Amino acid sequence: MVSAFFAIGPGLGAPSSIVLWITCAVMIAAAIIFSIMTRSASPESRHFYYASAFIVLWAATLYFVLASGYGYVTQPGGHVFLFGRYIDWVVTTPLLLLDMAFVALPKGFPGRNALIATLLGADVYMILTGFAAAFIRTGFRWAFFGMSCAGFLVILYIIVTKLTPEAARRSPDVKKLYTQISPLLMGLWICYPIIWVLSPSGWGVFNAFVATLLFAVLDVLAKVGYGFVLLKQPATLNQAETQTVEATGASRVATQY
């Protein structure tokens, strides 16, 4: 019974499976803690808490699927393709970016919706083309890898040239929070394509177990670590939601869009 539950599917070794189960447990624990932390949130800023709890809950679900032997296929040639990863990322990465955009851009900021839509669109494009790159086993996959990197560059461009300057106009506390989450997000996210290239999906410098371990560590830092930094500052999140656009002087730059 227990062994049926802790099934290790063909292709995925026991060490990888253990890493996936542990990560699943960490995500569940984070979902519970984030839900409890909601109690310190004001009604205006509660969505940050719900989003963070949902992000780790969704990740826990996908880690559960992967660990129990269903979220991957063994392709001809023996390559194990963990497609479940991309089902996790396509849902969670837009929400992580949305949190950051809400901290950077005050409500009513001109062009806010269009900017956020572009940011999230580029992100979904990055993940879906990344999925294609990982699925395709011929050299053709590098074309999709390039497309995915282009999506990623758009994200970084919007963060650096739009979100960061706007965040600098916000109240000292909100500005400080942004300077904590933004480098954290960019620093961690940049590691993903690097690990991908070195993993069996790319050049195969290291094996599937090392890739599973490194992606698990990154996923925990990018979701749980990032979530904690954000949610442990309820007063600042409330300010981020209630500060008016006039207070930031943002309307002066409206014509830039």
Contacts 24+ apart (CB under 8 A), 50-55: 51/95, 51/98, 51/99, 52/99, 52/223, 52/227, 52/230, 52/231, 54/95, 55/92, 55/95, 55/96, 55/223, 55/227
Please report whether residue 223 would count as binding ligand RET according to CB under 6 A.
yes
249: left (phi over 0), alpha (psi -120 to 50) or beta: left
Q: Which stretch binds ligand RET (CB under 6 A): 45-53, 127-135, 167-175, 228-236?
A: 127-135
CA–CA distance, 247 with 171 (Å, rounded to integer): 9
Which phi and psi (to 5°) does residue 225 adopt?
-60, -50
Please identify, among the stretches 24-32, 64-72, 169-177, 218-226, the one whose residues bind ligand RET according to the rule CB under 6 A.
Answer: 218-226
Site for ligand RET (CB under 6 A): which residue of 34, 49, 109, 196?
A: 196
Per-residue mark of binding to ligand RET, 70-109 (x: CB under 6 A):
-------------------x--xx----------------
CB nearer to ligand RET: pick between 177 and 185 = 185
Q: How far is the CB of 14 from ligand RET (least distance, A)?
A: 24
Nearer to ligand RET, 133 or 250 (CB): 133
* Shortest Å, Cβ 214 to ligand RET: 11
- How many C-beta neighbours within 10 Å does residue 8 have? 17
In the list 164, 193, 217, 225, the residue contacting ligand RET (rule: CB under 6 A) is: 193
Among candidate residues 54, 155, 112, the one with its CA nearest the CA of residue 251: 112
d(CA 121, CA 21): 31
Site of interaction with ligand RET (CB under 6 A): 89, 92-93, 126-127, 130, 133, 145, 148-149, 152, 189, 192-193, 196, 219, 222-223
